[in-house]
Chain A
């Protein structure tokens, strides 16, 4: 069974293995044992409510309970830009117009901003490639479980988070891993490869950004077409994640990553569909819960817990008007007893 639970220090090796194979583009999970261990520790302390609210960082592990192995991870950062500086480019328009000479031109500019400081962020989603189901009724379930469990958690504990939640989307790079945006802009100021800048940024020290980043707005017109084309464009591998966030009600807010120009998606927490539409049920532990069918319809079910937060998928047929029928195994994974409250949300929205 696939189970979401808070990450533990014993997951370090699995996390390191996943981070190592992820390649560039995931700045928040650099393949560095020390840093990963620190992140796990921060997460454990966050779930235990032993850190100030604004420093909370909650990491969710997807565990294959049979293999007893962590095969995926996702996280929520309570407030970004609190202990490091959070940079984005804002894509703005500037219009130059003169009646006297009859010319009206529109140019796009990139403004360096810290506008997202204080927002909550959903981030660090990684799934072992052997668990990326692409066919059958269970296609995409693991990715959705990892992504959406966070919204159930946020719905449960709104006071831990900001009003606004954002997600950084990995920007476009070609098959060789080269980012045309970086090559046209960042490289000229940082004098290093994208992967190195990416790694440094992920390792948390942003001083080098303050030291080397151009502070004045950048006119897009000065960049080559290849770079202009990818401003706000996601990496091909990130497209499914982008679509999922859009279905949750996230919008591109006009901000992009300063290194690869990947888009920032944003929503008010209360407007996220999984937050709005999640519903409460009671656990009904049953010897014969409804069998999984071929419809591909599932619900995420969480136990409403904090340090003991758990979330699993159940067949849609198990979710009734006011109960969720759980097998013994599901109930024990969720650490719930008969009659305990559960929060549920459809894995897929019906029109999708």
Chain B
């Protein structure tokens, strides 16, 4: 059976296998073994509510095949309230340059470096085995986080954001080549790698501090601002369906868009319900995402259920066992 649960120290090799097979980097789940192990530990402490990580909590979930013990994917939530790790974005704005006397009126697009999104919870760390991309398991990975956020709603900000990967070609980014490269003097892959394993200090040191006039960037760079890499399209579509919207914020390295949403307005939060589980044999029903209500031992998977009128819902015993749900426990569920 395939389920979602918080990652554990023992998942290191399994997670490594998933992220290393991915062609693109996910900055919150680094390729570097030592850093990855730190991130897993960070997640463990976050689930244990260690006061030392308060504000900077990072919850990393894994998707596990319980029969083989194999790790199939990861997904995460970052609290992003840690002032020692400012969240960098470019905000896209337009200034109107207008001379009525000369009849010249133009909108001049400008990118402003901003930390405005610091403090907003971030969905991050989504990676999956290539074979499961664009399947319902992908949905399980992405949406299970939202069930977790719904249950522990007070922990998270009202607005949540997701950074989509910008357009990349052979580990290069036209946006980077026209902008960041002049200042960092690094190729995109190296800079991206550093951003996943280093502190924010080097970004503070290296990012150009003045606003950027978009019209001075290369045409190739201008063309990819706000564009999602084709590889990230399935994730993008899923998030749009969930209720995320484009925002004026873009990634400072590759110009990829940052999506934004009111957490409570997301499909998974609006449509999810809680009921008491009655465990036993289930013969019919519709596939739902089902989770327990545990914080430290959060679990989520698919289950066939029939959502009736009452406060009680029948759940297959095997699935209940896997999700650590005892008869009479309250569960959360939401349609696919």
CB distance from B3 to the nearest CB of A (A): 39
What residues of chain A lie closer than 8 Å to B213, measured between beta carbons? 188, 214, 216, 218, 222
Contacting pair A100 B208 (CB below 8 A): no
Contacting pair B102 A101 (CB below 8 A): no
Contacting pair A207 B205 (CB below 8 A): no
User: Considering residues B185, B198, B201, B212, which has the most beta carbons from chain A within 10 angstroms of its beta carbon?
Assistant: B185
- In this complex, what residue of A is CB-closest to B96? A211
Contacting pair A109 B206 (CB below 8 A): no
- In this complex, what residue of B is CB-closest to A100? B202
Considering the complex, which residues of chain A in the window 178-221 have a beta carbon less than 8 Å from any beta carbon of chain B?
185, 188-192, 200, 205, 207-208, 211-214, 216-219, 221
Contacting pair B198 A103 (CB below 8 A): no
Contacting pair A211 B97 (CB below 8 A): yes
Q: With A185-B216, A216-B110 given, is the CB distance from A96 to B104 under 8 Å?
A: no
Contacting pair A216 B211 (CB below 8 A): yes
What residues of chain A lie closer than 8 Å to B215, measured between beta carbons? 188-189
Q: Does A223 touch B at the CB level, under 8 Å?
A: yes
Interface of chain A, main secondary structure: mixed
Interface of chain B, main secondary structure: mixed
Size class of the A contact interface (CB-based, 8 Å): 20 to 34
What residues of chain B lie closer than 8 Å to A191, measured between beta carbons? 104, 106
Contacting pair B216 A109 (CB below 8 A): no
Contacting pair B217 A212 (CB below 8 A): no
Q: With A98-B206, A191-B106 given, is the CB distance from A208 to B217 under 8 Å?
A: no
The contact string, 1 if C-beta is below 8 Å from chain A, for chain B 203-247, is: 001111111110111000000000000000000000000000000
- In this complex, what residue of A is CB-closest to B205? A98
User: Considering residues B186, B216, B217, which has the most beta carbons from chain A within 10 angstroms of its beta carbon?
Assistant: B216
Contacting pair B97 A96 (CB below 8 A): no
In Å, the complex CA distance between A222 and B194 comes to 24
In Å, the complex CA distance between A101 and B99 comes to 45
- In this complex, what residue of B is CB-closest to A109? B210
In Å, the complex CA distance between A109 and B101 comes to 30
In Å, the complex CA distance between A185 and B99 comes to 18
CB distance from A105 to the nearest CB of B (A): 5
Contacting pair B216 A222 (CB below 8 A): yes
Q: Does A97 touch B at the CB level, under 8 Å?
A: yes
- Return the contact of B186 from the options A101, A109, A218 (Cβ within 8 A): A101
Contacting pair A105 B182 (CB below 8 A): yes
What residues of chain B lie closer than 8 Å to A100, measured between beta carbons? 198-199, 201-202, 205
Closest 8 CB pairs of A and B: A221-B182, A222-B216, A211-B99, A98-B205, A98-B202, A96-B206, A216-B211, A217-B210
- A: which residues have CB within 8 A of B? 94, 96-98, 100-101, 103, 105, 107, 109, 185, 188-192, 200, 205, 207-208, 211-214, 216-219, 221-223
A-B contact pairs, 24 of them (CB 8 A): A94-B209, A96-B207, A101-B184, A103-B186, A105-B183, A105-B184, A105-B185, A109-B210, A188-B213, A188-B216, A189-B106, A200-B102, A208-B101, A208-B102, A211-B97, A217-B210, A219-B208, A219-B210, A219-B216, A222-B212, A222-B213, A222-B216, A222-B217, A223-B216
Given contacts A96-B183, A212-B102, A219-B210, 4 further A-B contacts (CB under 8 A): A101-B186, A216-B110, A219-B212, A222-B178
